[in-house]
Amino acid sequence: MKKMCMFFVCAALAVAVSGCGMATIKPNYTTTNPELMRIGGEMPGNKEPEVINMGSYCLKVTDKWKADGKTPDGQPIWTKDSFREAIPCK
């Protein structure tokens, strides 16, 4: 029984040491739609609010970019918030 416990302790230790010794995976920050998220550089410019006629009402869409953290190598992550408001049509 003592040999079996010692075997499992050595196996767990070997797994832990080999896991720490492996090269880390380089993160890949990409998106299929760069209009929602961007990595690095300066903050993208905010557009003027857009008014969309939906038939019986209009929709005012306002997009705002914000810094939403940093990548491990220090680049800013920019994400876009989209605000929608129902307004009467002119």
pLDDT tens column, 15-63:
776 666 666 666 666 667 778 888 888 888 888 999 999 989 999 999 9
Which candidate, 26, 45, 27, 25, places its Cα nearest to that of 35? 45
pLDDT for 19: 63
| Of residues 8 and 86, more confidently modeled | 86
pTM greater than 0.75 (yes/no): no
Residue 85 or residue 18, greater confidence: 85
Name the residue ranges covered by the structural domains of the chain.
Answer: 28-87
Query: What is residue 7's predicted lDDT score, i.e. its pLDDT?
Result: 78
Torsion of Cα atoms, 19 then 24 then 30 then 31, to 10°: 10
